[in-house]
Amino acid sequence: MIGRSGCAAALVVASLAGAEAQQSEVLFSHKHWQVSVVGWDDGTVGCVAEVTAPGESFSIWTFPNGAVQLQFYSTAWEFGEGKTADLGVQIDRRTPWSLTGAELYRNSVLFYLPDDRAGVNFITEVARGNRLYLRAKDGSDVQNYSLAGSSASISALVECGEAIAAKTPGNPFN
């Protein structure tokens, strides 16, 4: 598991992205998952836990303001910009989740989790699950992702998220 000092050091590296549009540092890897801190040239940072396969990925992003965003990516998709869709996600054989109004952007499906108990329950299911199924509104399969290693990776993501929230400028209480 990563420690706060390791995450803070990576945060500094990510914050110094300079001329790069984006820079990242891997903080933790376990089974199919990898957790990284990412910095952009405008000084913003985020943490991401992702499972990847060639041309495909499922990512969970956290940001200093506490927002949590899901990203499903495929090189086979080309949505353009400014579109939305209602999708479904099912973890193992549990009750499916609805992603109402998910943003379709280029090769990605993006969805912000609600900042409430439902968002926490979703992340808990991911951490405990074996496989996640992305489905169209009608229930037809679109893609699926292995969740092997997700429990330890979600813990590392939470730790990274806490570290970047503590480094957010403008809050005199941190």
pLDDT for 12-52, tens place per residue? 333 333 334 689 999 999 999 999 999 999 999 999 999 99
Residue 133, strand partner residues: 90, 144
Give yes or no for a contact between 47 and 157, defined as CB atoms under 8 angstroms apart.
yes
Please give the DSSP secondary-structure letter assigned to residue 142.
Answer: E
Residues 116, 117, 118, 123: what is their CA dihedral angle, to the nearest 10 degrees? 100
pTM of the complete model: 0.84
Instruction: Give me 112's structure tokens.
Output: 């912000």
Predicted local distance difference test score (pLDDT) of residue 81: 95
Instruction: Give me 25's structure tokens.
Output: 């540092």
| Alpha helices, H only, 4-116 | 4-15
Confidence of residue 169 (pLDDT cuts 50, 70, 90): low
Which pLDDT tens digit goes with each residue over 73-127? 999 999 999 999 999 999 999 999 999 999 999 999 999 999 999 999 999 999 9
List CB contacts of 6: < 8 A, sequence separation 6 or more: 27
